[in-house]
């Protein structure tokens, strides 16, 4: 059984993408744009993501965890503080995560479009 997700769920939603692997970032961006979302970024660093959160106020976010030796935890905390939902898209397992990252829905790499769609729509219910 596939749940039917009405297209308007995503129309015009502004999604921040934080991913340091550029090819994967472009892939995720394309998928989100196909859903009808507007992508903010993709950005590759915590600082760039925090800037976007402050100035662009995204509706939601898709976060990679490991960013060139640092983690996206501060971004997750900032989103939580602003009550903006987010998904974690990572090669790690949940047991490896900490803080606000641990509580978010987790998708494993490589990205699965159907799962991304279902989980993303879950953020807007």
Contacts to another protein by CB under 8 A: 21-24, 26-27, 30-31, 44, 66, 91-92, 96, 108-111
Closest CB to another protein among 30 and 56? 30
Closest CB to another protein among 64 and 78? 64
State CA 68 to chain mean position distance: 17
How far is residue 25's CA from residue 37's CA, in Å, rounded to a whole number?
15
Closest CB to another protein among 11 and 91? 91
User: What's phi and psi for 49, nearest 5 deg?
Assistant: -65, -40
How far is residue 69's CA from residue 39's CA, in Å, rounded to a whole number?
25
Q: Least CB distance from residue 79 to another protein, whole Å?
A: 22
């Amino acid at each position: 059984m596939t749940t039917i997700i009405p297209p308007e769920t995503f129309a015009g939603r502004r999604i921040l993408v934080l991913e340091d692997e550029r090819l994967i970032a472009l892939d995720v961006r394309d998928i989100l744009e196909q859903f009808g979302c507007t992508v903010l970024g993709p950005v590759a660093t915590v600082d760039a993501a925090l800037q976007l959160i402050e100035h662009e106020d995204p509706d939601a976010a898709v976060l990679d965890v490991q960013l060139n030796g640092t983690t996206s935890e501060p971004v997750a905390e900032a989103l939580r503080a602003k009550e903006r939902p987010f998904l974690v898209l990572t090669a790690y397992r949940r047991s490896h995560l900490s803080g606000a990252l641990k509580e978010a829905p987790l998708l494993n790499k490589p990205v699965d479009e159907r799962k991304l769609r279902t989980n993303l729509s879950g953020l807007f219910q």
